Amino acid sequence: YSFFTDALHPDDHKSTMQAMLDAMFQIKPVYECEYRIKTKDGQYRWYYDRGTITQRDKDGKALFVAGIVFDVTDKKNDEFLLKEENRSLSIEAYTDPLTQISNRRALQDELEQLVNPHIRIQRPLSIILFDIDNFKQFNDEYGHLAGDKVLKSVANELSQSIRGFDTLGRYGGEEFLIILPNTNLDKALRAAERARQSIETLVIDGLPKVTVSGGVVQREEDESIETMIDRADHKLYQAKNQGRNRVC
């Protein structure tokens, strides 16, 4: 018994023992488990183990067990590599490649979860839509590399200005969307103004001052995601028409 348990990986001990005890005490007809065993060279290998109690005494106590064990290390390694590959693909699918923040798809999925009608407790939800002022000027006068530098700098600054449970993403072009769960309009406006001010003080070597305009809205009851974003977009252009570098 100790020959087996001493070599068993500590993280697998509880689940393995439980599977075997369930069979011994007739909770389940067979035991089935996967675990790691330390080999003589100190490395762990994965095994799949399946067995059943073949003989009991008059009180029902397990006396003999018969089973079969397979080395499934290669299979486990393949599964791990596949999971890592899928994780990388998932990150890539939801990340803007230039700014390394969430992309439009990720923002859409986040909003859909937050407005899920099956969630019993509906909390306030606000969004901020920012647009970099006169962004075309950076590209035209300083080149697209300078434009990319501005986008990355603004994304980094906005990332530092939001709370841990807020979501920042690049909505498209030079537009950034911030999702603020459990946040009413007043709090969202204050957050937007803090973010705007932080961008205003941003210094990017060799480039003129960068500013942003923003539109802020709180979701209305049963309002669709599209309508909410459209309202934020109208507020954004209201800020643009009022002179830029402001939030409405």
Catalytic residues: 174
Contact 50, 31 (CB under 8 A): yes
In angstroms, the Cα distances linking 33 to 7, 20, 62, 140, 191 are 16, 8, 18, 63, 51
Contact 16, 67 (CB under 8 A): no
Contact 103, 168 (CB under 8 A): no
The beta strand positions in the chain, using DSSP E, are 31-38, 44-56, 62-71, 125-132, 167-172, 175-181, 212-218
Contact 214, 129 (CB under 8 A): yes
Q: How far apart are CA 29 and CA 12, in angstroms?
A: 21
Place of tokens 């309508």: 227
Bridge partner residues of 177 (DSSP): 129, 169
Bridge partner residues of 49 (DSSP): 33, 69
